[in-house]
Amino acid sequence: MRYYIIAGEASGDLHGANLVKALKVHDSSAEIMGWGGDLMTEAGAKISKHYRELAFMGFSEVVMNLKTILGNFDLSKKEILAYKPDVLILIDYPGFNLRMAKWAKKNNIRVFYYISPQIWAWHSSRAHQIKKNVDRMFVILPFEKDFYKKYAYEVDFVGHPLLDVLDQYKADAGFRQKHGLSDHPIIALLPGSRRQEIKVALSIMLKMIPKFPNYQFVIAGAPSIPQDYYEAILSENGLNEASSPVKLIQNKTYELLSTSKAALVTSGTATLETALLDVPQVVCYKGSPVSYFIARRLVNVKYISLVNLILDQPLLRELIQEEFNPIDLEKELVRILEVDEQTRMKLAYQGLRKVLGDVGASGRCAELMVRRLAH
């Protein structure tokens, strides 16, 4: 079979790479090309466009780069028509991929979608569009199956690919020594991956340092953010990384979490990664008042963290907007450092793993895809 895959972000490249490997197991003569990144290339896919050229965040950036974005649509369409794939596989990245699904359907190209857009959170009516344009959806969150059932659309739940990623991860026994960390227990700070959210969240998180003198604080630096950006925030908050009790370690989030006692985490996939690495956490989020006002009216979910959404209960305390302040954050951090609370959270995390399914999401997804293509 000939497969054309579109992954427009770093996470899509990671999960796409595991899918490529699995497709080659279940279809030994598979030919795979598309858009993605270095990991998909290493896995054996021929990548013609890197996701770095596709990442436009926010309304203003999209408008400024509209010509480039429209050019990307045209380029992708021409490539697909020339390649004549048996299937177009779209991975998350809804702004681009939902439009590609509509175009592909009109051109009689079979469409599979792996990792559903989070339409259950807002703009749920897009389920009608997906039902019309996507031949098969492969979802990674257990409640998504029931969500699509409301629209009389059957999907396959394959489990969460993060379980695969973490299963392959091996802890680094020399992590503390390599990064000059002491024997004091670590509190990890995960302030997000976008500049504005990092600036807001980290400035509040850093206020915890003098309150917990028996702990060392370590910032998990995002791969796309330069070190000097973090250093500027530290300086603004009267801290200097070289002489203060806070360290910045970039591109080592799993290693950091694996050695941490607790974590303060900006809402996003990081809350799930932190849970799967067994670290008690407080979920934090603070956006601009206008953005939050709009979001509250558009979003129709009970929780902002994936962990609480999957478990359908408030296991993790979510400090949102005004509640994300130094006083409430200190109170919650004290609470999750207590022995009983650590035990309770870690026990609940075991239940989370069971709900998410076993390791092997990529393999199950590839097997189902190959089987469906054969009929």
The CA dihedral of 131, 135, 140, 142, to the nearest 10 degrees, is 50
- Note whether 2-159+360-373 and 175-356 share their fold: yes
Q: What architecture does CATH give domain 175-356?
A: 3-Layer(aba) Sandwich (3.40)
Distance CA 368, CA 138 (A): 9
> Which residue type is seen at 342?
Q
pLDDT tens digits for 231-269? 999 999 988 756 667 999 999 999 999 999 999 999 888
Is the whole-model pTM more than 0.85?
A: yes
pLDDT at 74: 87
pLDDT at 121: 77
pLDDT at 20: 97
Q: Is the pLDDT of residue 63 over 70?
A: no
> Which residue type is seen at 118?
Q
Q: Where are the domains positioned within the chain?
A: 2-159+360-373, 175-356
Q: What CATH superfamily is the domain 2-159+360-373?
A: Glycogen Phosphorylase B; (3.40.50.2000)
Among 38-42, 92-96, 217-221, the range scoring the smallest mean pLDDT is: 92-96
Distance CA 203, CA 234 (A): 8
Distance CA 31, CA 167 (A): 27
Q: Are 37 and 23 contacting, i.e. CB atoms less than 8 angstroms apart? A: no
> What is the b/e burial string over 14-46, where b = at least 16 CB atoms within 10 angstroms of the residue's CB?
bbbbbbbbbbbebbeebebbbbbbebbeebebe
